[in-house]
């Protein structure tokens, strides 16, 4: 099969247009030393059957270990019909609507998505989605800087922000000369307004909840910290299901909400695709990056949907756009919208209640049998994730390794809250899919190791 | 036909500047020609009062249903105040570009720059 069909005639025409004699002459600016001599060193071609076997072999290398890893990626269940709906050709093959108004159905689905996300976060405006949770946190910070008319300055970030999110923030903010100042948590892993750093050139403060230890934060502390510094407040929600059980940041008057929508029916995957969420107040809508879909009326007075306020976007505003990474992930947003409408308020409540009760099951299993001074079980309010704080980093790491050899990925190791006096935290993710039996196996294994 | 006022100076970017009674104090806006070509203005992004600006620097933008256009500082100096009323209702930019639609007041640094601005006649030629 010819993958790059190019006849001699076509090649001659191209060379003539480029005013060169030969292909070699065309690429003469590329140094000889880095040009490939001869053919690429590729393995022999495989037949269709061999190719399938080749990839099956890779697939078989996947571990079937029981995983309690979380940190922004949670193994939730979803109604089976979701997979059938989302794989319909009209949805699966449709991309970001560049001829937006031609695809009213796509626009309506985005509009519904925005409405549902705004309702869950308690905010007035939601955009049509962003790349993922961590880039949404970044966009929230850049938006806060624009709102405060700061080109440089400091963003205050809670100690409980995921390590990978923090590293992404550093990658983007360092070259912009925006500094990051950490807002230390108390010994239980919660941020208190009184300990927010007083930085003169701060323009915003970001609080993540649930945080990297699984601890649910108090949005009132965020608001009070932001108010005392006279800066914008950003609530970062990496697990949207937590908002069913705990208060929505919008109810506290938070300025910007960023989040990760993976929990809303998106499968786990290395590198995604996940779903970034970004919400703001109506007064700040011109500084929100990304697509926004609005509802209007067409010439005949019928309801219609349109891309709105697109003068903020890069195809109109070029280098002055509110963002140049405002790729919205329609399919993922649609998936979340279908998930939310299938679940409804009652379904969401059931899921989050199950999540919490499974976490309590693990918590009580552990506290019943774990009798050692080296480890403390977090008692702070938590959602989806529970942390065990270790006096010694080594104990924590060897526990994780030993359980791994028993085919259990027991969780993620974080630095313990600085104020707690502990060194490391093993953060264990539990969802409605973690059955009580396997939680018992996990608890027994942990207690067995730490005896 | 767009209105051009005799008592004002102009830039090639279709902005006007008016000398106020206090020395070095200048009021700035966009011309009738500019608002005509922009169409209905939906939003104005204004600079912060107190900011020092250089002639030609982008200090804000005017957004219409058709496009977004930059506002340039016509002169070097310090921004004294901005027309906050436009934040809530930018319509004076269309209805009264020389009056209620003014954008900023500034204190200018040098007279020479003022003298380099276009006269009403020169601007009329430019805007044709």
* B63 contacts A311? CB cut-off 8 A: yes
* B48 contacts A316? CB cut-off 8 A: no
Residue of chain A with shortest Cα separation from B66 = A311
Choose from A3-7, A36-40, A318-322 the range with maximum mean pLDDT: A36-40
B28: number of CA atoms within 13 Å, CB side?
A: 32
- pLDDT in the model for residue A89: 83
pLDDT category, A95, cuts 50, 70, 90? low
Question: Using one digit for the tens of pLDDT, what is the confidence trace for A97-121?
Answer: 667 777 888 899 999 999 999 999 9
Question: Using one digit for the tens of pLDDT, what is the confidence trace for A320-341?
Answer: 788 776 666 889 999 999 999 9
Lowest-confidence range among A89-93, A113-117, A243-247, B102-106? A89-93
DSSP letters, A357-420, are HHHHHHHHHHHHH---TTEEE--S-BSSEEEEEES-HHHHHHHHHHHHHTTEE--EEEEPPGGG
SS3 call for B30: strand
- pLDDT in the model for residue A326: 64
SS3 call for A256: strand
Name every residue whose Cβ is closer than 8 Å to that of residue A409 and which is 6 or more positions away in sequence. A63, A65, A66, A67, A68, A69, A403
Tell me what the pLDDT averaged over chain A comes to.
92
Q: Contact A333/A275 with Cβ under 8 angstroms? A: yes
In CATH terms, is domain A66-74+345-450 a member of 3.90.1150.10? yes
| Burial group, residue A314, by CB count within 10 angstroms (0-12, 13-18, 19+) | middle
User: Does residue A3 surpass a pLDDT of 80?
Assistant: no
Question: Using one digit for the tens of pLDDT, what is the confidence trace for A270-312?
Answer: 878 999 999 999 999 989 998 899 999 999 999 999 988 877 7
- pLDDT in the model for residue A429: 97
- pLDDT in the model for residue A97: 60
Better-scored residue on pLDDT, A372 or A161: A161
CATH C-level class of B9-117: mainly beta
Torsion sign, CA atoms B82, B85, B91, B95 = negative
Contacting residues of B for A317, CB less than 8 Å apart = 68
Smallest Cβ distance to A317: which of B43, B48, B68?
Answer: B68
- Output the CA angle A104-A124-B101, nearest 5 degrees: 90
Torsion sign, CA atoms A51, A56, A59, A61 = negative
Where in chain B are the domains?
Answer: 9-117
Question: Of the candidates A296, A277, A275, which has an alpha carbon nearest to the alpha carbon of residue A288?
Answer: A277
User: Does residue A164 surpass a pLDDT of 70?
Assistant: yes
- pLDDT in the model for residue A96: 60
* B48 contacts A311? CB cut-off 8 A: no
- pLDDT in the model for residue A2: 56
Where in chain A are the domains?
Answer: 66-74+345-450, 81-339
Lowest-confidence range among A106-120, A354-368, A369-383? A369-383
Mutation site, B39, B58, B64, B68, interface A, largest A CB count within 10 A = B68
Contacting residues of B for A284, CB less than 8 Å apart = none
How far apart, in Å, are the Cα atoms of A118 and each of A101, A128, A238, A339?
23, 11, 15, 15
* B68 contacts A316? CB cut-off 8 A: yes
pLDDT category, A78, cuts 50, 70, 90? very high
- pLDDT in the model for residue A271: 76
What is the average pLDDT across A379-397?
A: 95
DSSP letters, A292-331, are -EEEEE-TTS-EEEEE--GGGSHHHHGGGSS-S-----HH
Question: Using one digit for the tens of pLDDT, what is the confidence trace for B9-51?
Answer: 999 999 999 999 988 999 999 999 999 999 999 889 999 999 9
Lowest-confidence range among A7-11, A124-128, A445-449, B96-100? A7-11
Question: Of the candidates A70, A13, A7, A28, which has an alpha carbon nearest to the alpha carbon of residue A413?
Answer: A70
Query: What does the alpha-carbon distance between residue A411 and residue A426 come to, in Å, rounded to a whole number?
Result: 6
Percent of chain A with pLDDT strictly greater than 70: 97
Residue of chain B with shortest Cα separation from A149 = B48
Q: Look-up: residue for tokens 């919205």?
A: A328
DSSP E strands in A184-327: the ranges are 202-208, 232-237, 256-260, 276-280, 293-297, 303-307
Query: What does the alpha-carbon distance between residue A28 and residue A52 come to, in Å, rounded to a whole number?
Result: 40
What CATH number was assigned to the domain covering residues A81-339?
Answer: 3.40.640.10
Residue A234 DSSP code: E
Question: Using one digit for the tens of pLDDT, what is the confidence trace for A260-276?
Answer: 999 999 999 887 899 99
A73: number of CA atoms within 13 Å, CB side?
A: 16
Query: What does the alpha-carbon distance between residue A401 and residue A412 come to, in Å, rounded to a whole number?
Result: 11
Query: Can you read off the two tokens belonging to residue A184?
Result: 């230390």
Contacting residues of A for B45, CB less than 8 Å apart = 286
Lowest-confidence range among A1-15, A196-210, A357-371, B90-104? A1-15
User: Does residue A94 surpass a pLDDT of 70?
Assistant: no
* A311 contacts B67? CB cut-off 8 A: yes
User: Does residue B128 surpass a pLDDT of 80?
Assistant: no
pLDDT category, A158, cuts 50, 70, 90? very high
């Amino acid at each position: 099969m010819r993958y790059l069909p190019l006849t001699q005639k076509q090649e001659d025409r191209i060379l003539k247009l480029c005013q060169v004699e030969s292909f070699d002459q065309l690429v003469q600016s590329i140094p000889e030393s880095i040009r490939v001599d001869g053919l690429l060193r590729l393995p022999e071609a495989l037949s269709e059957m061999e190719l399938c076997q080749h990839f099956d072999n890779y697939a078989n290398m996947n571990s079937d270990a029981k995983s309690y890893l979380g940190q922004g990626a949670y193994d939730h269940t979803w109604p089976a019909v979701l997979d059938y709906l989302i794989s319909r050709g009209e949805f699966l093959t449709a991309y970001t609507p560049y001829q937006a108004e031609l695809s009213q159905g796509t626009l309506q689905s985005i509009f519904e998505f925005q409405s549902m996300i705004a309702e869950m976060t308690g905010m007035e405006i939601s955009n049509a989605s962003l790349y993922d949770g961590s880039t949404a946190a970044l966009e929230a910070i850049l938006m806060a800087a624009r709102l405060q008319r700061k080109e440089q300055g400091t963003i205050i970030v809670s100690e409980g922000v995921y390590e990978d999110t923090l590293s992404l923030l550093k990658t983007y903010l360092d070259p912009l000369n925006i500094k990051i100042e950490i807002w230390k948590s108390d010994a239980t892993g919660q941020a208190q307004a009184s300990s927010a750093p007083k930085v003169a050139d701060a323009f915003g403060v970001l609080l993540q909840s649930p945080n990297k230890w699984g601890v649910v934060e108090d949005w009132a502390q965020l608001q009070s910290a932001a108010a005392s510094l006279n800066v914008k407040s950003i609530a970062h929600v990496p697990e949207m299901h937590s908002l069913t059980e705990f208060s929505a940041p919008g109810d506290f008057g938070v300025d910007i909400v960023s989040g990760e929508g993976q929990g809303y029916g998106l499968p786990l995957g290395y590198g995604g695709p996940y779903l970034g969420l970004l919400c703001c107040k109506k007064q700040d809508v011109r500084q929100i990056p990304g697509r926004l879909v609005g509802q209007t009326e067409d010439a005949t007075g019928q309801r219609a949907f349109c891309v709105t306020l697109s003068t903020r976007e890069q195809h109109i505003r070029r280098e002055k756009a509110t963002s140049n990474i405002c790729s919205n992930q329609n399919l993922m947003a649609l998936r979340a919208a279908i998930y939310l409408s299938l679940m409804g308020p009652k379904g969401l409540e059931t899921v989050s209640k199950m999540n919490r009760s499974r976490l309590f099951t693990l918590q009580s299993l552990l506290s019943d049998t774990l009798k050692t001074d080296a480890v403390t079980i977090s008692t702070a309010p938590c959602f989806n994730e529970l942390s065990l704080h270790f006096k010694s980093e080594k104990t924590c790491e060897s526990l994780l390794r030993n359980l791994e050899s028993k085919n259990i990925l027991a969780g993620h190791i974080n630095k313990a809250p600085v104020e707690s006096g502990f060194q490391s935290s093993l953060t264990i993710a539990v969802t409605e899919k973690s059955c009580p039996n396997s939680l018992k196996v996990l608890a027994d294994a942990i207690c067995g190791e730490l005896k | 036909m767009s209105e051009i006022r005799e008592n004002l100076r102009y830039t090639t970017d279709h902005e006007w500047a008016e000398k106020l009674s206090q020395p070095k104090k200048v009021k700035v806006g966009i011309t009738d020609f500019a608002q005509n070509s922009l169409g209905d203005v939906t939003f104005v992004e204004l600079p912060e009062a107190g900011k020092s600006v250089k002639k030609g620097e982008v200090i804000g933008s005017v957004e219409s249903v058709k496009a977004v256009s930059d506002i340039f500082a016509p002169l070097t100096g310090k921004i004294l105040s901005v027309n906050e009323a436009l934040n809530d209702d930018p319509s004076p930019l269309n209805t009264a570009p020389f009056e209620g639609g003014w954008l900023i007041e500034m204190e200018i640094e040098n007279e020479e720059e003022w003298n380099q601005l276009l006269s009403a006649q020169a601007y009329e030629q430019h805007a044709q």
